[in-house]
A and B are shown apart, each in its own frame.
Chain A
Amino acid sequence: MDFITILQLLDSSIRLATPLLLACLAGLFSERAGIFDIGLEGKMLAAAFFSAAIAFTSGSVWVGLLTGVAASVALSGLHGLASITFRGNQLISGVAINFLAAGMTVVIAQTWFSQGGRTPALTGDARFEEIVLPGAASRIRDIAQQSPLGQIYSELISGHSILVYISLLIVPLSWWVLYRTRFGLRLRAVGENPAAVDTAGISVVGLRYAAVIICGVLCGLAGAYLATGLSAGFVKDMSAGRGFIALAALIFAKWRPWHALGACFLFGFLDAAGNRFQNIELLTFLSLTFLLLAAVSAIMLVIRAIMLARGKDTARGLLTPGIALVVSVGLALGLDALDPEAGGIATYLNTFVLPVQFMQALPYILVVVILAGLVGKAIPPRAGGEPYVKER
């Protein structure tokens, strides 16, 4: 496995993680305010369709984006109406939105474009082009000619749609809003103990509607990215379960924005690896796994170091991620350096080939593992799923 392959894998992970991340943050706002939302999938789908359809008819992707967000917000409003104002069951309302979007998009697409429930292919200004930063190469074949640093710059940092950069900015923004503003404090409180918020004279209904609307906007961005950034047009059921993966990532992240970034990137990475390595040899698979472990422990190390610098942690906290980093980097490089032709353990490992089905199932296996509770206890917001009744 060479350097450029790893870069391409990471690049693909970023692209595939972006819709998950936006949907995951959307769910974060809604669920933190006590409104469970399984309708992420449906809202993404509706936004994907309307952004593609209006981008095609108007010729401007920005107009399309706005319409997509508006459609998603409208569905959010519906969810809010059912679950906040009329105190209905939030899960049922979410399921209804998923069904509504799956059927409605295809029917409207067929009526408008008569192409069997898809929109025509988008070209030019009707699509989010990749942003090429100054000095970066844009085509994969040119990038392969550059120096390693140039490759990182051109492949990883440059060459994404603007929505990718926006979604990465929304992560710190969400953290700041939730943990550093009065609005965020109230939003979190309304998901834990709405009665206390009400006693303080703040509108529970207003806060919950605000959260649901934010959720709609973020889902709208996710859907628009799918249809106008990742691909060029809408096709039936194009969200393909991403809304549900985002929910799993949200539980994995235990309803925290930075952790959501990590969880979504992991799902994106597994998806990308499944695409890139079909029928992978066990040897390559193992070195890839250790590489992933190395990346995770490096991130942990940086986080611990920051906490140490702030005096919130002792130096011993650096020990575990440090050892993990050294061991996994050593194993990854060692396995990669083994020659499968030379005999011994490398040849043995190389005879096992993991089938493509296994690689493509990886994200779903991870979902099952997460939901089985193997990643520690995930405690949802306490008032989640409960409609707020002022007086009993």
Chain B
Amino acid sequence: MTMMKSLLGAAAVIAMSAAGALADGPAVIFDLGGKFDRSFNESAFNGAERWAEETGGTYREIELQNDAQREQAMRRLAEAGSNPIVMAGFSQASALEVVAPDYPDTTFVIIDGVVDAPNVQSIIFSEHEGSYLVGMMAGLASETGTVSFVGGMDIPLISRFACGYAQGAVAANPDITVIANMTGTTPAAWNDPVRGGELTRGQIGQGSDVVFAAAGGTGLGVLQTAADEGILSIGVDANQNYLHPGSVLTSMMKRVDVAVYNSFSADTIEPGIVVLGLAEDGVGYAMDEFNAELVTEDMIAAVDAAREQIIAGEIAVHNFTEDGSCPVDMQ
């Protein structure tokens, strides 16, 4: 009996690995934060899971453990026949530039980065527009006239969040002070909740009473400290309102899940750059039962009006990555 079982097991393993080698399904590569970071990567994972549930299909996935694995992971998936291969995270761009020309029949999709190749689609979000909206909300909710921002790794992408947020806060209250801090300059900055909490305490000491975290796993420490100290916080990427009901004012939603879902289900993927902004519902703010009491009717009215104006082009939100500078002063 045991013999039979192990034989059957072995046969099953061989069958599965054979199927794996011939797999033609899509694949996703998560960035260093890990697929359960309650934020960027988890959002990508949710999109992939939704596709799997709705179509009954299977997909392959790789969670990167360190930078050196990027190229290897892409090549492995491409050689195994996965198509398309979606990769979440700007840090994948340099590796993809090398890998993409070697597999002309495979379509790659990169989220948050831009790679110019005939078989790569680059999906970019207008984070500055979404951040502008939550910045307005922060400016309206602040009683002290000071709001703050905690970023993860110090890169232009995160400065885009910070700059949009600051512009929104100033639009709501021209006299407001915006404090912005970055957690660090290495990828470890995405996973350091202790430092995130300390930064938040420092900002509260400088008068901040609304803090926006765009910092992956580090953000969990920021939201925790904000809840402990009785101030408001704003989550990022996924809807994080549920983490600390009554303390998280809203979340800047970046629909990475939609991007992954669409890439998985599309029949053909056009190469080039796709920008998902407010008009495409690629970014936005989150409302649910956990923050309903914190957000007033007036705030929603003001933010929705701004949203319409941005879509219509009446308000131009400055994009930090265009010229590397921000029109609003941050401390």
Contact = CB atoms under 8 A, between A and B. Distances in A.
A and B bind: yes
Interface of A: 4-5, 8, 12, 15-16, 114-118, 121, 130, 139-141, 144, 226, 230-233, 235-238, 240, 272, 275-276, 278, 356-357, 360
Contacts of A15: 198
Q: Across chains A and B, which 10 residue pairs bring their CB atoms closest together, nearest first?
A: A116-B36, A116-B34, A8-B205, A140-B204, A115-B36, A276-B202, A231-B193, A275-B198, A230-B194, A232-B224
A12 B36 contact: no
30 contacts: A4-B205, A5-B205, A8-B201, A8-B202, A12-B198, A12-B201, A16-B194, A114-B36, A115-B36, A116-B35, A117-B34, A130-B228, A139-B229, A141-B204, A141-B229, A141-B230, A226-B194, A230-B194, A230-B197, A231-B194, A231-B221, A231-B224, A233-B193, A236-B34, A275-B198, A275-B202, A276-B202, A356-B182, A357-B185, A360-B185
A140 B34 contact: no
B124 interface: no
Which of A226, A235, A240, A272 counts the most chain B CB atoms within 10 A?
A: A235
Given A5-B205, A116-B34, A121-B220, A236 B191 contact: yes
Nearest to A5: B205
Contact of A238 (B182, B194, B202, B229): B194
B38 to A, nearest CB: 9
Nearest to A242: B194
Interface string B158-191: 0000000000000000000000011011001001
Contacts of B231: 141
Interface residues of B, number: 34
B12 to A, nearest CB: 22
Contacts of A230: 194, 197
Interface of B: 34-37, 63, 144, 154, 181-182, 184-185, 188, 191-195, 197-199, 201-202, 204-205, 209, 217, 220-221, 224, 228-231, 243
Which of A116, A117, A360 counts the most chain B CB atoms within 10 A?
A: A116
B305 to A, nearest CB: 31
Contact of B188 (A240, A272, A278, A356): A240
A121 B193 CA distance: 11
A235 B35 CA distance: 13
Nearest to B218: A235
Nearest to A116: B36
A360 B184 contact: yes
B126 to A, nearest CB: 27
A275 B182 contact: no
A236 B202 CA distance: 25
B222 to A, nearest CB: 11
A121 B243 CA distance: 9
B191 A235 contact: yes
Given A116-B35, A278-B182, A139 B194 contact: no
A226 B35 CA distance: 23
Contacts of B224: 121, 231-232
A130 B225 CA distance: 12
A311 B42 CA distance: 66
Nearest to A278: B181
A356 B191 CA distance: 18
Contacts of A114: 36
B144 to A, nearest CB: 8
Contacts of A226: 194
Contacts of B191: 235-237
A272 B37 CA distance: 26
A275 B199 contact: yes
Contacts of B220: 121, 233, 235
Contacts of B182: 278, 356
Contacts of B36: 114-118
Contacts of B63: 116
A17 to B, nearest CB: 12
B217 A235 contact: yes
Nearest to B204: A140
A106 B229 CA distance: 30
Contacts of A235: 191, 193, 217, 220
A363 to B, nearest CB: 12
B29 to A, nearest CB: 15
Contacts of A276: 202
